[in-house]
Amino acid sequence: MRFSTKSIHVGEEPDKDRGTGDVVSPIHLTTTFARNDPLEPTKGYDYTRTGNPTRLSLEKKIASIENGKYGLLFASGLAAETTMFLSLLKVGDHIIAADDLYGGTERLLRRVLSNAGISYELRDLTDTSSLDSIPDRTKMIYFETPSNPLLRIVDIREVSMKAKKNGLMAVVDNTFASPYFQNPLDLGADVVVHSTTKYINGHSDSLGGALITNNDEHYHTLKYNQNAIGAVLSPFDSYLTMRGIKTLAIRMKEHEKNAGEVISLLKDSKKVKKIYYPGLKDHENHEVARKQMRGYGGMLSFRLNSDLDGVKRFVGNLRYISLAESLGGVESLIEVPSLMTHSGIPREVREKVGVTDDLVRLSVGIEDKEDLLEDISSALEKV
């Protein structure tokens, strides 16, 4: 099966066994499942935290579009990350993480995992020689590619090879690219993380997270702890996400097309100082992106030629593009990372990598391009 066929059919084969022939997997809202005898085996399910048929359908679907053997779903991207870190690491272990990360992930490392005895350090993983020295207790390399918010690209194959050579796990957050444009497991990653809240669901109406792996041992630990920790995706959110994922391919193509149009406009504007988009030939890591991605997606960031007042005038004068956190939905969203998604990161840490007040992050939606372009150019006039 090819990509869209998988995203439409896997996990939802018509239910011939029960004789109903459901083409779409039903929402099994039940929290518990009756059995005949305490000693008899169940019919496959006993309690929804442990397993639910709607969630299982989506877990199979997500695994298949990431070219993975196993998929697991969680209540949010951060719930997936937390379960992954606490399951695959123990007290005393060390993480090398990329220095450009979603603010919530950095906060999880700094405020939660550090207190649980798991240490971390941030490095520029776009330069793989930064892995030439690895502290003894290191167990994992963690990164996003493209990264949030600077759209940096890390060479997945190269970092995964270095990880393997040193007996470490390579974990990749593939939220920005989505499985449509990139499959980290095929390039050697051990585990893939998604905030399904973003492109996978695609309609900004369901919070969720996923872990995908080919590794039997990791899967069994993660599956056990998915139930033991309990931060699972609800049946209703599983249904919404399943509905969204079926159009992932056509949405991603449109996001990318519109992003290209917006970039052409921004390039011609004197109000714009710099654009960050991995599809641009002058992007620092464009060659790596070209090698490992099938497309460059709908996320971009740019610097305005102005102070914070100008940035506020720009985002405040947009008509269709909402000023809001999050990304990957059909509607365009804009935000100022230093004041919003990344405001929890200490100023000196984020400014060191370039997350300053003149940086704007745009999630280009799939509205009509003419409306987006008119909206952006009239707001730029106010800068």
Footprint of ligand PLP (CB under 6 A): 76-78, 102, 104-105, 144, 148, 173, 175-176, 195, 197, 207, 209
Beta strands 191-195 and 209-213, pairing class:
antiparallel
Nearest approach, Cβ of 130 to ligand PLP (angstroms)?
20
Closest to ligand PLP by CB, 241 vs 375, is: 241
Task: Output the six-digit token pair for 295.
Answer: 């497309």
**Nearest-angstrom CA–CA distance, 61 and 6:** 7
For residue 169, what are the β-bridge partners?
140
Q: CA-based Rg of the chain, rounded to a whole angstrom?
A: 21
For tokens 């929402």, what's the residue? Answer: 27
Helix (H) or strand (E) holding 171: strand 169-173
Contact criterion met (CB below 8 Å) for 304 and 325: no
Closest to ligand PLP by CB, 48 vs 105, is: 105
Contact criterion met (CB below 8 Å) for 119 and 94: yes
Q: Is-catalytic flag, 49? A: yes
Closest to ligand PLP by CB, 102 vs 277, is: 102
Nearest approach, Cβ of 61 to ligand PLP (angstroms)?
18
Closest to ligand PLP by CB, 70 vs 102, is: 102
**Nearest-angstrom CA–CA distance, 170 and 91:** 19
Nearest approach, Cβ of 147 to ligand PLP (angstroms)?
8
Contact criterion met (CB below 8 Å) for 210 and 197: no
Which DSSP letter does residue 340 get? T
- Choosing from 99, 155, 173, 237, the catalytic residue is 173
Q: Is-catalytic flag, 102? A: yes
Helix (H) or strand (E) holding 210: strand 209-213
Task: List helix spans (H) across 177-234.
Answer: 178-181, 216-229
Closest to ligand PLP by CB, 355 vs 380, is: 355
Nearest approach, Cβ of 209 to ligand PLP (angstroms)?
5
Nearest approach, Cβ of 152 to ligand PLP (angstroms)?
12
Q: Is-catalytic flag, 173? A: yes
Closest to ligand PLP by CB, 81 vs 256, is: 81
Nearest approach, Cβ of 76 to ligand PLP (angstroms)?
3
Q: Is-catalytic flag, 290? A: no
Burial tier of 268 (Cβ tally within 10 Å: 0-12, 13-18, 19+): exposed
Nearest approach, Cβ of 260 to ligand PLP (angstroms)?
22
Burial tier of 339 (Cβ tally within 10 Å: 0-12, 13-18, 19+): middle
For tokens 């272990």, what's the residue? Answer: 93
Closest to ligand PLP by CB, 211 vs 272, is: 211
**Nearest-angstrom CA–CA distance, 252 and 328:** 9
Q: Which amino acid is at 57?
A: S
Helix (H) or strand (E) holding 240: helix 235-245
- Choosing from 55, 139, 198, 350, the catalytic residue is 198
Nearest approach, Cβ of 111 to ligand PLP (angstroms)?
15
**Nearest-angstrom CA–CA distance, 276 and 158:** 22
**Nearest-angstrom CA–CA distance, 129 and 16:** 54
Sheet with 333-335, strands from edge to edge, namely: 272-276, 299-304, 359-363, 333-335, 322-323
Residues with active-site annotation: 49, 102, 173, 198
